[in-house]
Structure 1
């Protein structure tokens, strides 16, 4: 894992935040690459912390529910 290769604690924290945002808040699939916008955001912690994560998470939830409805819930 890339965290073990990084020696800068701030970079480890930032990568962890992006990992949390992608995995927990947005629910991205593990085989999908990281959204580069989030890597850019995490460079500026003020921007990252004030980003509308709730709106992005809600949008992803809506997309997933629509997809499930089209597939018949399978």
Structure 2
């Protein structure tokens, strides 16, 4: 990310890949780590810092209301 390279016109896939690698290698480790993490607010999951369930059935009832894209679902809810 230190130097700026301009290319006029469409470049090939291999050239784009080479430029992407050069850009990545020019970054420090701290920059790579900072760019590698994406903070994301998960509804329902992040509402409280932790949850305690007395029984597994209580957990399953709670998990039934979660959006499917979070990955918490049972085979019967597919």
Shorter-chain TM-score category?
under 0.3
Q: TM-score, normalised by structure 1?
A: 0.23
Q: Which has the larger radius of gyration?
A: 2
Q: TM-score, normalised by structure 2?
A: 0.23
